[in-house]
Amino acid sequence: MEKRIDVAAELKAAFEQASPKARQLVAAVLEIERANQHLSVPRVGDDIKKAIIDAAKSVTPS
């Protein structure tokens, strides 16, 4: 049997390779996609792009 990877440790490492702001953005984008999955009419194209752009702007205060 192959040796199992430590998912938690590897995920932590993957996440930590990004800066704190990028981590915030990743969390926000995943949340948008997760919510989109449960919508009866999922957001597509420019609609979902706009949501992600807004998320990126919100973690990058001017």
Look up residue 9 and give its two tokens: 């440790």
Residue type, 17: Q
Question: Does 47 participate in binding another protein (rule CB under 8 A)?
Answer: no
Residue type, 20: P
Cβ 10 to another protein shortest distance, Å: 4
Please, where are the H alpha helices in the chain?
7-16, 20-37, 45-59
Task: Give the interface with another protein as residue ranges (CB under 8 A).
Answer: 1-2, 4-5, 7-8, 10-11, 13-15, 17-19, 21-23, 25-26, 29-30, 32-34, 36-37, 40-41, 48-49, 52-53, 56-57, 59-60, 62
